[in-house]
Amino acid sequence: MSALRAVYLGLAIWGAVHPMAYFIPWLMDNNFDVMALFAAWKVSFATTGLVWDLVISAVALTLWIVAEVAVRRNWSSLVAIPATFLIGVSCGLPLYLFLRSRPVR
């Protein structure tokens, strides 16, 4: 594995673990109330702006992944889409870059 691929993998793992270190305790403190989480995202203009920034980034990443998979036929890269929406862009983007940078056979 190249050094760059190792960095992508490390960032994908970090992007999965670090945000969950905040989300999971918050959800546990709030009885896993997902609607309360959505309400917290609208608590101020700053948080709402950040949420929309991440949503737009996630949609753009998804379109890029689908477009590239259609051309490259790298079907395993599609796993980055659920990672993006279930974990976050901080995991989905480096995961996709890791999968995309595999040596061509």
pTM, two decimals, is 0.87
Query: What percent of the chain is modeled with pLDDT above 70?
Result: 98
Note whether residue 29 is domain-resident. yes
Instruction: Report the number of distinct structural domains present in the chain.
Output: 1
Long-range contacts from 73-80, C-beta under 8 angstroms, 24+ separation: 74/99, 74/100, 74/102
Note whether residue 73 is domain-resident. yes
Cα torsion 50, 61, 11, 72 to 10°: value is 180
Instruction: Provide the domain limits for residue 15.
Output: 3-100
Average pLDDT, the chain: 93
Q: For residue 16, what pLDDT is reported? A: 96
pLDDT at 105 over 80: no
